[in-house]
Each structure stands twice: as C-alpha cells, then as structure tokens.
Amino acid sequence: ARPCRRACSSGAASDLLSPLPCPAARIQADPSSRVLEGHAVNLTCRVSSGSPALLNFTWYRNGRQLAEASAASLAFQRVASADAGLYYCKATTDGTSRSSAAVSLDVLCECGAGNPGSCRSRDRSL
C-alpha cells in the first residue's frame, strides 16, 4: 500500500501507512477539455473503485480553490473565456486526500459573421 499524506493538527504533513491504497483521482471532461465559448462542459472528479463512498471534493483553477465547488462534478452551462485554465480536484475522506493531475480547459472562440465580437487577438493564433 502506498502511504497517504495526512495533515497534522500542527499544519505539518506526515506520511502515514494506510491499510488500503490511496484512492486515485482523475478528471474526466465531457464532451472534451477543448470547448467552444458558450457551449456546455462538465468536469467530473473520478475516484478509483474500492475507495470510500463518502468523499468530499474540492476544485481548483490555476492553483486557487473554487469556493462554490464542492461536488464531484463542476458544470459550465455556457463556458466563457474567463473559465479557461488548469483545473484539478481533491477528493478527501477521513483526513486523507488525493489530488488529480491538472487538466487544461481550453475555451475556443467561434469566429464568423454572426459572432464577430467574440474573437480575441490571442485566439487568432490557433
């Protein structure tokens, strides 16, 4: 079994041996991590089977915690360019936690006659 990291009351982190492997966390983007501005996208924090059912989730964008996001899924009904960034999730149970690898959410503008104002100079280089 791989040691899980647990935060001690002093704030220091220590390695504790866990009888079960730490649950592996990963992010699944649906339909994709590259999405057109204004479209919907869902990011789901998936935890390996065999992990405890009672998990708490914390989401981060560009290294900062998203206070309003504490569920397994992070849903964007109409994604905006401001939503682009590196996302990762942390699943926690009984004082142990496991973070996913970061996933880049790329928001692409849809250029055209019907939507000329949505293009930004940085998007023209794509």
Residue 121 lies in a domain: no
19 close to 25: Cβ distance less than 8 angstroms: no
Does the model's pTM come out above 0.85?
no
Instruction: Render pLDDT for 10-58 as a digit per residue (tens, 0 to 9).
Output: 333 444 444 445 557 899 999 999 999 999 999 999 987 666 667 889 9
**Distances from the Cα of 123 to the Cα of 17, 72, 106, angstroms:** 48, 31, 11
Structural domain total, the chain: 1
β-sheet with 73-76: strand ranges across = 25-30, 41-47, 73-76
Residue 123 lies in a domain: no
**How is the chain split among helix, strand and coil, in percent rounded to 5?**
10, 45, 50
- Nearest one of 38, 110, 116, 125 to 80, comparing CA atoms: 38
Domain that holds residue 33: 1-7+25-105
Residue 57 lies in a domain: yes
Residue 100 lies in a domain: yes
Residue 98 lies in a domain: yes
Residue 63 lies in a domain: yes
- Nearest one of 60, 42, 43, 67 to 97, comparing CA atoms: 60
Q: 98: which residues sit within 8 A by CB, 6+ positions away? A: 4, 22, 23, 24, 25, 47, 90, 91, 92
- pLDDT of 90 > 50? The answer is yes
CATH number at residue 68: 2.60.40.10
